[in-house]
Structures are given as C-alpha cells and as structure tokens.
Structure 1
Amino acid sequence: MDASWLETRWARPLYLAFVFCLALGLLQAAKLYLQRQRLLRDLRPFPAPPTHWFHGHQKFLRDDKMEKLDEVVEKYPRAFPCWIGPFQAFFYIYDPDYAKTFLSRTDLKSQYLCKFRIPCLGKGLVNLEGPKWFQHRQLLTPGFHFNTLKTYVELMAHSVNTMLDKWEKICRTQDTPVEVYEHINLMALDIIMKCAFNQETNCQINSTHDPYVKAMLELGRIAFYPLHSLLVHNDIIFKFSPKGHRFQELSQVLHQYTEKIIQDRKKCLKAGMRQDNTQKRTCQDFLDIILSAQAENGDSFSDTDVQSEMNMFMLVGHNTMTASLSWLLYCLALNPEHQERCREEIRGILGDGSSINWDQLGEMSYTTMCIKETFRLIPTISSISRELSKPLTFPDGCSLPAGMTVVLSIWGLHHNPAVWKNPKVFDPLRFSQENSDQRHSHAYLPFSAGPRNCIGQQFAMVELKVAIALILLHFKLTPDPIRPPTFSNHIVLKPKDGLYLQLKILPDS
C-alpha cells in the first residue's frame, strides 16, 4: 500500500510535466511549420538553386568558393532565396535596379551576422540605428574631411616604408615567395594606431610585445569569423564556446586600452596641457576630433560612445584595409602590363618616391582605376544586409514581406554578366570617365551607397594610393604559381591561407 501511494504521488507530476513538454514541443513544431510555409509562399515568385531539405544552402555558403556564387548569379541574374536550414531564409539580390530600391530605404541593419559582437565591442556607426546613428554620423564626418586626410599622408608613408625595409631585408636573404598578408596586416594596424590615437607602437618590428596589438590581431580573426552555421547563432552556445570566451577576453583588453588613452587625453585637454609627443604632431588624430565632438554635444555623446566608435574604427578599418591592399597587390601581380603602367605613372609623378604629398595622389589616374577595378573584382566587404521594416516592391513588380532579411551581394553585383561585360577580366578602363558616366548608378558599390555608405572610403583610397605607389617604386610583384590564394568569405573577404608573392627589388629603388 505504501509503494502504491509513492507511485501515485510521484508519477502524476512527472506525467503532467511530460504532457506539458510534449505540448510545448508540438506547439513549437507547428510554429516552425507555419513559418516555413509562409516563407515558401512569400518566396514562390523567385526561383532558387537546388536546396537540401535540412541544411538549405549552408554548404554553398560555407565552402568559400565564390565561383559557385558566380554560377548562381549567371543562372538567376537578379536575385534568389538562400535557405539557412529549413526554417530561415535570406533573400540575395545583385541587380542594380534591385540594389537602388533596396538602398533607398531606411530599414534596420540585420543583426544576424554581428549580434554577438555588439555586447563586446559596443555600438558604433557600423551597428547603430535611427537618430542615434544619424547623430554619430554627423559628429564623426569631420574626421574624414579632406583637410584632415591630407595630414595623414606623411604618417602613412612612414609606416609603408617600414614594411618595405622589412621586405628588402627578406629579399636580400632569400629568393622564395613572401607571405605578405601578415606584413600588410601589421602595417595597416601601424597606420590606424597613428591616425586614431597618435600612438607609435612599433608593431611592425615587435608585434608580439604589445598586449593591445596582439589582442587586436587575434580579435580581427574572430570578429569576422563566418556565422552561417546554425549552432553559433545560439547566444548561450557562442558565449560559452572557446571562440566566444576568447572573444570576450580580447574585447576586455581592447576596452581597457582605449579607455585609458581616452581618459589620459581628456585630462590633458582639460588641464590645457599637451602630451610630451604632441609637439611633434602636425595633425589632429581621430581621437582629437571625436573628443571635440563630445565637448560640443555634452551628455548626448558619452564616454561609452567615444570608446565604441574608436573600437569600431580600429577593428573595421584595420581589417578592411589589410584585405584591400592584399587583393590590389595580387591583381597587379596577375596583370603585369597594368602593374607596369601604374609604375610608369607613379614614377612620372613621384620620381624616386623620397617624398609624397596629397596633391600628387590626385594625379594617379590610372592607378586609381586599377584600385577601383580591384574593388570590383574582389570587393572587400562581399555583402551587406537589412531586415525589412515594411514590404518591399522591386521595379519589376515582385515583392517581399516585412521581416525578410535581404542581403545585397556586392560580389554578385560586381560579377553579374548582365551588368558587366567579361566580369572575370581585370580591366581598369571600365573606370575611365566615359565608361563610368554610362554605367548604372548602382552597378558598382564597393562602399555601399545612400545615407549609410562607408564613412571611411576616402581614408581607404588615400591609404591605398600611398601604399601602392611606394610598393611599386621599390618592387616588382609576381604571383606564386604553387600557392594561389583562396577566399575566406567571412564578413571581410580575406585570403584564406595568406598571400604569397614573389618580390623582386627594382634596381633603381
């Protein structure tokens, strides 16, 4: 009788709990089923590549083979639905008219690819929305004005020459291809540390000694890690995964470093003092400009805002510039006739390159066309995404509902044979004035377009011109036939296993 009493006492709650869990499971299954049916209905007007019933197109996304995307773009010349598992779909577009309609709106940026970064890095222009974003954009714009950028040219040239000295020593002791990506990575970090903080870290020579430099380099590798896997989109799984834990540790190093610099600078400004090395400075750095904006706007631009913007500027600017210059060198190495024409143009402007100034950069017309063609052929940011706040109707009458995540594939747009003739051919003359005037306004979007275009695009162009000019004056570039680069399609499009080039010192350098 006692056993029967215990059985009744404990079995009933367990039974009820089981029924409750089963009901919740069935309810969730029904919800997912309806979600899938709704997506199938909404996306029915748009044909798509064959999809796996469970994985969707995840294998296609994870393979990092951009050739597969080229094949899809050729077969579906405007857009296609891309399934991330059975219950989630993105809508990829790469048609100029579609892009123009999409970018003319003010939909929120999709957080799907960067939601885990925000708590660690803070909210800056990259991930802010609405009035807060507009306020920050206005306050930060002076930091990228031509008058400010002019003063950075000498700083940039000094960092590039440090890298070239390293390359020259390597080339004099070995006759094998050099892995240049890591050298460029340190050089880009050196430049942005000077322009952002007026900090001389000597990172190109002793990169392993500075905790901040080490953290920034490793953080860049994790922050732009691909997030197409369903598992890493669970907050708890990512937070407690090795990568998530390491990401938080590195972010703390970043925060402590930037906070100390910001507070030290504010103390100096408040006391009317100048730092010991400020007397050598010929320009304001990015931090000066941000702190000036804060002083004028009081509580509406907090210390947290300052720190977030500095972190974002450092991380995003450093990683995108490294990739951009790497791909530019690779494209010129593959196309020696264009490389030589750039070199002749640069020699005619700079002579031996002992000095370089802002006005000379504006004379590099053919070199500029080669830079633009590199951005077309290998866009550093391969896509941008938004979540529709209201239905979107394209010029051909096809529509998408609110809530859909739309991905503008910049790679797809720049490789679309319906937009570009022979899109895989490196042809700088596409960007002659005549050809540019005849092109659709949204056929070429390396820095996006509309109100949320890249605020740092002029900074990037200046840095690329300084770097490529000095490199071509000193070295002839040849690709390594044994180790061609492969794409690592994270948020920033990087060479997966580094970039190997044969560097030959020019006799008159």
Structure 2
Amino acid sequence: MRQMNEYFRTPYIGIWLFWRPALIINSPEIARRVLVKDSGSFRNRLVGSGDSDPIGSLNLFTINDPEWTNLRRRLTSTFTAAKLRVLQDYVRSKSKELVQRIQREQKSRIPLKSLFVDYTTDVIGTSAFGVACNATLTGKDPLRSVAEGFMTYSPVRGLGTCCVFFFPELVNIFRFKFFPNSATDYFRKIFKAAAAQREVSGTVGESKDLLDALLKLRKETVENNEGYSEDTILAQAAIFLFGGFDTSGSLLAFITYELAFHLDIQEKVYEEIIEAKRLHGCEDFTPEQLAEMTYFNCVIKEVLRKHTSMGWLDRVAKIDYQIDDKLTIKAGTPVYINSMGMHYNPDYFNDPGKFDPDRFLPENEKDIKPYTFMPFGEGPRTCIGQRFALMTVRYAIAYMMLNYKVQPFPNTPKPEDVIIEKRGMFYSPGEPICVEFVPRIS
C-alpha cells in the first residue's frame, strides 16, 4: 500500500511500450493541460485500425485529425438532450421489459452482466441500426450474438486488440481488425436494409433515432460533395454499439451489486424514486426527471468512480511538449491519463475503497478537485454518448428499484472482492455476479 501511495503521488511516470516511450500522468493539473487547456497539442489517440478495416478505422473513437474534428462537430448535435428525448419512450419500454424478465427469472440466479447487456444491446443496437431487438425479454437475438462476439476472447483476437490500442503500425502488417469479420458483415447487411426501408418510406431526416441522424448526415454530405462513404456512416453506428453495450451493461451490474450490499443506500434511492413518482403523478419518468434525482445520481457517480469502464485516457503529443522544467516529451509520444488511479487516490477521495455516494452530494461535490473524476473523459474528445448512456442506465435502475429490492446471496463476494475480467477491453466483472431480487409490495 505504501508503494501504491507513492505511485499515486508521483505526477508522472515514464514507461516503455516495448520500443516506444510513453508517459503515465497522475496529476490532475497536467491532465487538465493535456485534455483541455492544450488539447490542440494532444488531439489524436494512439489507437487505430488498418486500411483493410474501414469500419474499425473510420469511427469516431479511432479516427484522427483532421477528419475527427469535422466528424465530431457534425455528430455532436445528434446527442443533445432535445434529440435524445425522442428515444425516451423506447428506452422506457425496454426498461419495463427488463422488469418483466426479472419477474420471470427471479427464482434463479441471473448473472447481472448478461441480464443488463441484453438490455443495453437492445437499446443501443436498435437506436443505432433501426432493427427490432428482443434480447431484453428473451436473452437471445442475432444482434446480441454479434455483440457478444466483440468481447469473446481468443489469443489472436487479444493480440489484435493489443496492437490496435498500443501498436497500430502493426495492424496493417498482420491485417488485424477492430471488429470481427462476422460483425462487420452483419452490420453492413442490417444497416443497408434499414437505410433502404427508410429511403422508400421517405422518413430520412425525421428525428426518430440515431440511425436517422446518421442517414441524414450521409445525405447532407453527398449533397455538399463532402464524400462521406457508406463505411464512414456505418462505422459510427458500429462504434455506438461497441462503445456502449458492454460498458453500460457492466455499470448497471456494478450499481445493482453495490446496492445489494448497502441496503441503507438502496432504501434512500428507492425513497427518492417513490417521491418523484408521487410528485409527478406517475412512474413514466422523463429523462430530465431522472437526471434531477439528487441521491439517485450520486450513487451512479460513485459507482462510476469505483468501477469506471476504462482506466485511462490516451492521447498522443502532436508537437514536442514541455511538461515541466525536468521533462519535455517528444512529438508522437503516447500519454496516458491515469483516471482510475486518481479515482482511488486517497489525496482526492478519502477512504477510496469505501462505497460512499455522499461524496457527490452538491455540498460535497464542489470540494472534489477538478480532473480527478473523469469517467467519461474530459475536453474535446470526451465521450459523445455520455447523455445517452446515462439515460439508458437511469431508466433501468429506476424501474428495477420501483419493483424489486436487491440483496446478496449468502457466501457471495463483496463488491471489492469481485474478480475483474483480465482479458477484456473494458473494466467489467470477470465472474458471474448475482443478487436476489425480492419483489416490493405496492
């Protein structure tokens, strides 16, 4: 622990990625410079896919400047609160299906991540690709199977992912791909079918879902001779699914598991939801109403602090950049902001291993040091889907809490003792975690 604390308190540490020097940053002040103040000098990521993988290389997560700036600017309007509001009825209906699924299977031990990934795949996949999905109720769906393939480990897949994130210059040599071929083929098939259907019906341009926004973007770029290919548009739908279904599903699993072990906190969340239901006259909450529930959102933030889906934020220095009087990093050097490390630094969060949503109460949150809590990143490259992800998570937790109390099964590991997946791309449970769902009496 002493060595760990010393590591936390070191502003930066140099490492070698085999032949490539890189820098890990533990300082929130330096993180602010890299992510925000001097973000123009750190615009790009090291992560990248190859020429043989257009879907993997053209999406907003992997693409670099100057293409990234133009694409991000065009897509940002898709994720405004007003645009996402059109999806609320669909997300709400899927949350109610989630409750039905729990009701049907409550007597068995339901692995939480699988349960919630079924739900997030439906919500994100249908919004991005415009196809009906039924995994929330049944646990099975063609798109769910494809999404599952994203996270299925094999030695070749693991090596390919490692190269995509840390050695992108090797990707073309070995023809690794960000997405499996089976996923790419399926995406093309359903995307073309959905696009053709909307073209025929004349509904392109109407604000229905994310797919419609992407089709509208393609239409506008064709009219303006900007030349966005179908692969570029399809790549955005694919990354919305890939970047959200597993991370949001894992977040929901960790929220549920933490609440099961902290019944006093769970009861406060439930009381707040019940009060909101009484105040608004029904349980068909709007996204704004869910966002206004103070303690409910403190719990989500605390789980994001303890179980953030990606432990680092990567950037690449565009120019030689002086960190301080002792260090100037060369252009092309990868820089990794150690966000997970700062989330667990006792200098920033007292007793960081403790689950304590009170940290994020308004009177306490103002004292949190800026750039020490970054579950969605910061600066121009912050997660574009943050609002959508939070809406998806809030609806699921609200309806689950309204209908069920959750409590741990005997002899199950505490949240801090859960094995974490060591071969996955994101921070997620590495073992099945389950809770007992106890119906609430109305």
* TM-score over 0.5 for the pair: yes
d(CA) in 2 for partners of 1:114, 1:477: 42
C-alpha spacing 1:443/1:117, structure 2 compared with 1 (3 Å): farther
Q: In the alignment, which of 410, 421, 440 is matched to residue 339 of structure 2?
A: 410
Q: Does 1:482 align with 2:380?
A: no
Q: Does 1:329 align with 2:256?
A: yes
**What is the Cα deviation at residue 161 of structure 1?**
1.6
Amino acid aligned to 1:482: T
d(CA) in 2 for partners of 1:90, 1:426: 33
d(CA) in 2 for partners of 1:237, 1:317: 29
Q: 3-state DSSP class of the match of 1:167?
A: helix
Q: In the alignment, which of 337, 347, 355 is matched to residue 274 of structure 2?
A: 347
C-alpha spacing 1:391/1:225, structure 2 compared with 1 (3 Å): same
CA deviations 1:189-221 (Å, max 9, x no partner) are 11113322443222234454x433311221244
What percent of counterpart residues are identical?
A: 21
Aligned to 2:113: 181
Q: Does 1:497 align with 2:431?
A: yes
d(CA) in 2 for partners of 1:349, 1:206: 30
- Whose radius of gyration is greater, 1 or 2? 1
Question: What is the TM-score of this pair, normalised by structure 2?
Answer: 0.85
d(CA) in 2 for partners of 1:437, 1:348: 26
d(CA) in 2 for partners of 1:348, 1:469: 12
C-alpha spacing 1:124/1:246, structure 2 compared with 1 (3 Å): closer
**What is the Cα deviation at residue 114 of structure 1?**
5.8
Q: Does 1:292 align with 2:216?
A: yes
Q: In the alignment, which of 98, 103, 125 is matched to residue 168 of structure 1?
A: 103
Amino acid aligned to 1:491: M
Q: 3-state DSSP class of the match of 1:495?
A: coil
Q: Does 1:263 align with 2:184?
A: no
Aligned to 1:430: 359
Q: 3-state DSSP class of the match of 2:428?
A: strand
Aligned to 2:396: 467
CA deviations 1:138-161 (Å, max 9, x no partner) are 211221111122222221121122
Q: 3-state DSSP class of the match of 1:439?
A: coil
C-alpha spacing 1:116/1:186, structure 2 compared with 1 (3 Å): farther
**What is the Cα deviation at residue 304 of structure 1?**
2.2
C-alpha spacing 1:451/1:322, structure 2 compared with 1 (3 Å): same
Maintained 8 Å contact 2:308/2:427: yes
After superposing the two structures, state which structure 1 stretch, 158-167 or 257-266, moved more. 257-266
Amino acid aligned to 1:211: P
Amino acid aligned to 2:275: G
d(CA) in 2 for partners of 1:460, 1:395: 37
Q: 3-state DSSP class of the match of 2:337?
A: strand
C-alpha spacing 1:246/1:119, structure 2 compared with 1 (3 Å): closer
d(CA) in 1 for partners of 2:400, 2:51: 38
Give the aligned length: 424
Aligned to 2:25: 93
Q: 3-state DSSP class of the match of 2:394?
A: helix
C-alpha spacing 1:398/1:237, structure 2 compared with 1 (3 Å): closer
Q: In the alignment, which of 364, 368, 373 is matched to residue 439 of structure 1?
A: 368
**What is the Cα deviation at residue 133 of structure 1?**
1.3
CA deviations 1:111-130 (Å, max 9, x no partner) are 35766995453412111222
Q: 3-state DSSP class of the match of 2:24?
A: strand
Q: Does 1:195 align with 2:127?
A: yes
Q: 3-state DSSP class of the match of 1:502?
A: strand
d(CA) in 2 for partners of 1:222, 1:411: 23
**What is the Cα deviation at residue 463 of structure 1?**
1.5
Cα RMSD after superposing both structures = 3.3
Q: Gapped runs of 5+ residues in structure 1?
A: 1-66
Q: In the alignment, which of 236, 249, 253 is matched to residue 182 of structure 2?
A: 249
d(CA) in 1 for partners of 2:283, 2:256: 21
**What is the Cα deviation at residue 461 of structure 1?**
1.6
Maintained 8 Å contact 1:290/1:306: yes
**What is the Cα deviation at residue 346 of structure 1?**
0.4
Q: Gapped runs of 5+ residues in structure 2?
A: none
d(CA) in 2 for partners of 1:373, 1:396: 36
d(CA) in 2 for partners of 1:507, 1:343: 13
**What is the Cα deviation at residue 97 of structure 1?**
0.8
Q: 3-state DSSP class of the match of 2:66?
A: helix
Aligned to 1:366: 295
C-alpha spacing 1:78/1:332, structure 2 compared with 1 (3 Å): farther
**What is the Cα deviation at residue 437 of structure 1?**
2.5
C-alpha spacing 1:102/1:336, structure 2 compared with 1 (3 Å): same
**What is the Cα deviation at residue 389 of structure 1?**
1.9
